[in-house]
A = this chain, B = another copy of it.
Amino acid sequence: MSKELSTEAKIREAAKNVFIAKGFDGCTSREIAKAAGMNVALVNYYFCSKKQLFKLIFEAAMEDFMLSTVEVFRKDLSLESKMRIFIEREFEFLTMHPDIPRFILSELSRGDKCEFDHAGILDKIAETGVFEELMDAQEKGVIRKMDLTNLMLMIMSNCHYPFMAKPLMKYLNSLSEEEYQERLMLQKQYVTEMLIGYLFLPKTNI
């Protein structure tokens, strides 16, 4: 692993791990300090307060979560290829950061404690031109005409939830970690085919 990190970076890293694993309410400043291998006071020396440190971590996670995989839409590929690769990348990202969706949704629903600044996240997605491309495809009858908000929600449901529901599914079906990972990879295939099959209309040979 990385050996030479600044104190500030070490705290940031520890805070990220602890916050994402346990949530803002589920951990203490001292726990973060210990995970970073140092004194409690240093956390506040560098980041003023638990709340402010959390805000930093949360917003970074949010950006990662929303933007890590949208670059596909800039590529010069067919819309269907883009969709397939997007889902592929999404599962890849979530395999490496399986706790992020639950973390984001939980903390967002905790709400007003401190208001988050995720201005422009949707703008950055829009910059890729994906929405225009989808609307074009709808006009041309390539894909189903449906609200894009709902489409977004549909894709996110099928990508995020399988990772969020891991403890539930593992328990209900008595699965080992390996078995669940297998199901996840299976699920990726299933949802890809289902989403593509639903979204893309059969070609009409006029």
Contacts and interface: CB of A to CB of B under 8 A. Distances in A.
B154 A187 contact: yes
Interface in A136-171: 146-147, 149-150, 152-154, 156-158, 160-162, 164-169, 171
A89 B13 CA distance: 43
A48 interface: no
A39 interface: no
B106 A106 contact: yes
B26 A110 contact: yes
Interface of A: 22-23, 25-26, 99, 102, 104-106, 108-111, 118, 121-122, 146-147, 149-150, 152-154, 156-158, 160-162, 164-169, 171-173, 175, 183, 186-187, 190-191, 193-195, 197-198
